[in-house]
Amino acid sequence: MLKLISTAQASFTTLKNKFIADDKGATAIEYGLIAVGIALAILATVQLVGTELDGAFKDVESGLKNR
């Protein structure tokens, strides 16, 4: 019985160490966070620049109409 417990404990320790050493999931999460950050930066830029571009296009449009 003691040998069975010892074997199970060794197997569990090996499995635990493999799980701790595996960082593939952490890397995927990091890339996901980077993608979210880039998307937020793009959205903020579009929001800020969008109204200014709208005004610029309206100025061009009115300038062309007055020709």
Q: What single DSSP character describes residue 66?
A: T
Residue 33 lies in a domain: yes
Whether residue 63 is predicted with pLDDT greater than 80 in this model: the reply is: yes
In which region does residue 22 sit, left (phi positive, over 0), alpha (psi from -120 to 50) or beta (all else)? beta
What are 7-57's pLDDT values in tens digits?
A: 888 887 888 777 777 666 777 888 999 999 999 999 998 888 887 888 888
Residue 6 lies in a domain: no
**Total domain count for the chain?**
1
Based on its alpha-carbon atoms, the radius of gyration of the chain, rounded to whole angstroms, reads 29
Residue 17 lies in a domain: no
